[in-house]
Amino acid sequence: MEWRRGPVIGRGSTATVSLATVVPSGEHIAVKSTELSKSEFLQREQNFLSKMNSPYIIKYGGFSVTEETYNLCMEFAPGGSLFDEIQRHGGRLNEQRIKFYTSQILKGLNYLHMNGLVHCDIKSKNILIGKDGFAKIADLGCAKFVEKFDDNKNFAVSEFCGTPVFMAPEVARREEQGFAADIWAVGCTIIEMATGTNPWPELNDPVSALYRIGFSGEVPETPRWLSGEAKEFLRKCMRKDPNERWTAKELLEHSFVSEVIESHSCFNEEVDMSSPCTVLHQGIWDSTLSPENSTHRVSSLNSFRRKDSEIVWKCRKLELG
C-alpha cells in the first residue's frame, strides 16, 4: 500500500507528524517520522500499537523504513488533540465535556492495563479526537509492560519516562511507575480540562517540579467550580499512596462517569470534524521538513490519524541529588 506525504501537522522532540494520503483511495492518514538512528521511541510505539485493538486507542496502520527515515502510519484524528479541544472552548471545558472525555480515556487505559501496559505519559496533548468526536489515547513511545502484574496493585517499571508536571509522586521519587501512575495523570488531565493549564502551572523548572511533586506531600489544587461529585472523583485519582488510588476499572463504575452517554447529542453545540482545516492551527501547516509528493510503501494499512508531540522528559537522565 502506498501513501503520499502532505503538510507537517505536528513536531516534537523525537518525531515529525505529517498528513498523508493513501494512494489511490485518497484516505487521509497520519505519518510520524524520524531519523532511523533516533527511532527508538517510534519503534517502541509501533510495537505496542500493532498489538492494540480498541476504539479508545489510536489505530495502527503500518510502518516503512528508508535508508535514513523510520515512518509510523496511524489513524488520522481530524479533531486534533484534547489540548486543541480545550483551546477551542475558550481555555476550559464544561463538566459535561470533562465527563465525556474522561470516560473514554479511562476505557482506553483500562484496555491498556488489562493487557499489562502502562502508558507513562497521559496528558491532553497525547489524547486525540477522532472523526467520531471520541477521545483516543495516542503516543505510546514511553509505554512499558509492567514487570510485576498481580491482584495486589504491586506494579512497577524500572525505567521512568513522561512529562514532569503530570507525574505521580512515586514516579517523581523514582520509586515505581505502574498503573496507578497513569491514574494520577488522568486526574492531572481532568484539571487541565477544567482550567486550561497543567496541574502545577507555577512550576516551570523540571527539577523543581519533580522535587515538589515527589517530596512536598502536596497535591494539585482542585478547580473550585467543579461539582462535589467531580471533586470526589478527582480525589480517587490523586491519592498520594499509589496503592490507594482507584483503578481504571473502579473509576469507570464511579457515578461521575458511569452514566455518560457517548453521543454528541448530549452537547448543546454541534461538533464539526469534517475538515482538518477546522481544527489544526495554520501555523503548524509547514511542510518544509519533508517533500510534498514523495511516495512510500508500508507493510500494512487500515484506518488512520494525526499526532501532536511535545518534549518528553526522560527521568532516567535526571538526577535529584
The residue among 256, 266, 118 whose CA lies nearest residue 190 is 256
In single-letter form, the type of residue at position 26 comes to G
- Give the bridge partners for 38, in sequence order: none
132 is catalytic: no
In single-letter form, the type of residue at position 78 comes to P
How many residues would you count in the chain?
A: 321
The residue among 245, 253, 190, 259 whose CA lies nearest residue 220 is 190
Residues 6 or more apart whose CB falls under 8 angstroms from that of 30 comprise 9, 17, 18, 19, 20, 73, 74, 75, 76, 77, 304, 305, 306, 307
Q: Which of 84, 121, 139, 308 is catalytic?
A: 121
- Cell numbers at residue 108, please? 482506553
The residue among 146, 128, 149, 103 whose CA lies nearest residue 249 is 103
In our burial notation (b when 16+ CB lie closer than 10 A, e otherwise), range 54-83 reads bebbbbbbbbbeeeebbbbbbbbbbbbbbb
Q: Which residues are catalytic?
A: 121
